[in-house]
Amino acid sequence: MRHLTQDELVLFYYHEEGGVDRRQAEEHLQSCDLCRQELASLGQGLEMIESLPVPERDESYGAQVWTRIRPRLAKEPERRWSFFFPIRTWALAGSSALLLALAFWAGRFWQQRQTPTVAAISAPARERILMVAVGDHLDRAQMLLVEVMNQEAEGSVDVSQTKQLAQDLVQSNRLYRQTALRDGMPEWPTSSTTWSAFC
Amino acid sequence: MEAIDRAAQVLAGDQDSFRVLVDRHSRAIFRLAYRMTGNEHDAEDIVQDTFLRAYRALHTFEARADFGTWLHRVAINCALDHLRRVKRREEDTLGLPEDEQSGAFNSIPSASPTPERLLLSVELKKKLEGAMAKLSDRERAAFVMRHFDGCSIDEIGKALGLRGSAAKNTIFRAVQKLREALQPMANS
């Protein structure tokens, strides 16, 4: 039989399966001085580690640990059956479902009441509203541009918020443009391309 | 009374039964934690964490398992978490040379010397601690479980979340590192 490898010697030392057959290994060790010496050296090294002292704790140590941990223990440990009958969890789930149903019903009711109001606005009034909204939109766009121009050029600048704002402006710009075209308003400025470039 | 009965009583709300389990296993857990960290102070913290974690997770203890083995597994995980925290702290420590940074097996010196401690020469102790310090957290855990706790490679794999071959290789590496570190002493 060939010599035992270091790994096989470790498995043999710890009586672990997975190495060479134990009986075969024993037979080999009886006849092979080299492997026997190697095993002895392995054992010697590992036994040396055992001489590393561990500070002793006396009989009262358990009581000391208990005194320290007791205030930190919950009143009751988590129970296996509590997973199946979590009363508080069910109560919470029930009230959440009820709230959700109420919110859904209220939302539907609110929507039904709101729709006719929009339809009742006259064409000139709609145009005025649109003009005010567009004015506000342009103001916001201008503010953003000033902000961008005044940002520090050196070092890394976090533009994620500004970018998000610019994206929002592009979206609303598109909506205003569509509304203006549908209502036959004069030509809409093509600033959206500028915003898109920024985004 | 068996540990399983005690555990059942704790789950039924009897805290006093847990006191008995703490009393019975504290010293063994301390020894394990000390071997994992080489530091009394850290070992004390790990003992407390182990029992707190075990109390919270008692419902996961299976009746057919041995309570001591299960608790040791909890302690190993606590020790590994602790060592990871220590390592993170070390990494955050700036300006200290590596050998002055606190860490497992070379951090806070242990308290009052025991007769055992006095018997072992300071130099030998240092070398043994140095050898253990060469192991990674996982290697140390695997080695302590195999060598001192007599856990099988299978059990070690389960406790450390390693496959059989990975657990085996971890042990091999640990033994190899220890042998290399202790070779000069063994020869002398």
Q: Which domain holds residue A25?
A: 6-50
Tally the domains of chain A: 2
Whether residue A115 lies inside any domain: the answer is no
Any idea which residue has 């974690």 for tokens? B53
Kindly report the backbone phi and psi dihedral angles of residue B166, in degrees, each rounded to the nearest multiple of 5, phi listed first.
-65, -40
Any idea which residue has 């190993």 for tokens? B76
Per residue in B105-122, pLDDT tens? 544 444 455 555 555 567
Which of the four CATH numbers 1.10.3720.10, 3.10.20.30, 1.10.1740.10, 2.30.140.10 does domain B1-110 have? 1.10.1740.10
Which position has the higher pLDDT, B12 or A69?
A69
Amino acid A77: pLDDT: 62
Measured in angstroms, the CA of A90 and the nearest CA of chain B are apart by 20
Spatial neighbors of B85 by CB under 8 A, at least 6 apart, are: none
Whether residue A190 lies inside any domain: the answer is yes
**What percentage of chain A carries pLDDT values higher than 70?**
70
Residues of chain B with CATH 1.10.1740.10: 1-110
CA nearest B179 in A: which residue? Answer: A45
Kindly tell me if the per-residue pLDDT of B77 is higher than 80.
yes
Residues of chain B with CATH 1.10.10.10: 112-188
Whether residue A136 lies inside any domain: the answer is yes
Q: For residue B163, how far is the Cα from the chain centroid?
A: 20
Asked if residue B140 lies in contact with residue B174, where contact means CB atoms within 8 angstroms, the answer is yes
Per residue in A110-139, pLDDT tens? 666 655 555 566 777 777 777 788 788 888
User: pTM score, two decimals?
Assistant: 0.58
Kindly tell me if the per-residue pLDDT of A163 is higher than 90.
no
**What percentage of chain A carries pLDDT values higher than 90?**
16
Any idea which residue has 């240092």 for tokens? B126
- The answer to whether the CB atoms of A45 and B183 lie below 8 A apart is yes
Q: What angle do CA A42, B162, A17 make, to 5 degrees?
A: 45
Whether residue A95 lies inside any domain: the answer is no
Query: What average pLDDT does this structure show over B18-35?
Result: 93
Stretch 21-60 of chain B: residues touching chain A, C-beta under 8 Å: 22-27, 30-31, 34-35, 40, 47-48, 51-52, 55-59
Kindly tell me if the per-residue pLDDT of B104 is higher than 70.
no
From first CA to last CA, the distance across chain A in angstroms is: 73
d(CA A18, CA A128): 85
Q: CB atoms < 10 A from the CB of A127, how many?
A: 16
Whether residue A81 lies inside any domain: the answer is no
A66 touches chain B (CB under 8 A): yes
Mean pLDDT of chain B: 81
Whether residue A103 lies inside any domain: the answer is no
- The answer to whether the CB atoms of A61 and B129 lie below 8 A apart is no
Whether residue A43 lies inside any domain: the answer is yes
Query: What average pLDDT does this structure show over B21-46?
Result: 92
CA neighbor of B87 nearest in space, from B128, B42, B53, B52: B42
Kindly tell me if the per-residue pLDDT of B137 is higher than 80.
yes
Report the CATH fold assignment for B112-188.
Arc Repressor Mutant, subunit A (1.10.10)
Q: For residue B158, how far is the Cα from the chain centroid?
A: 16
- The answer to whether the CB atoms of A53 and B120 lie below 8 A apart is yes
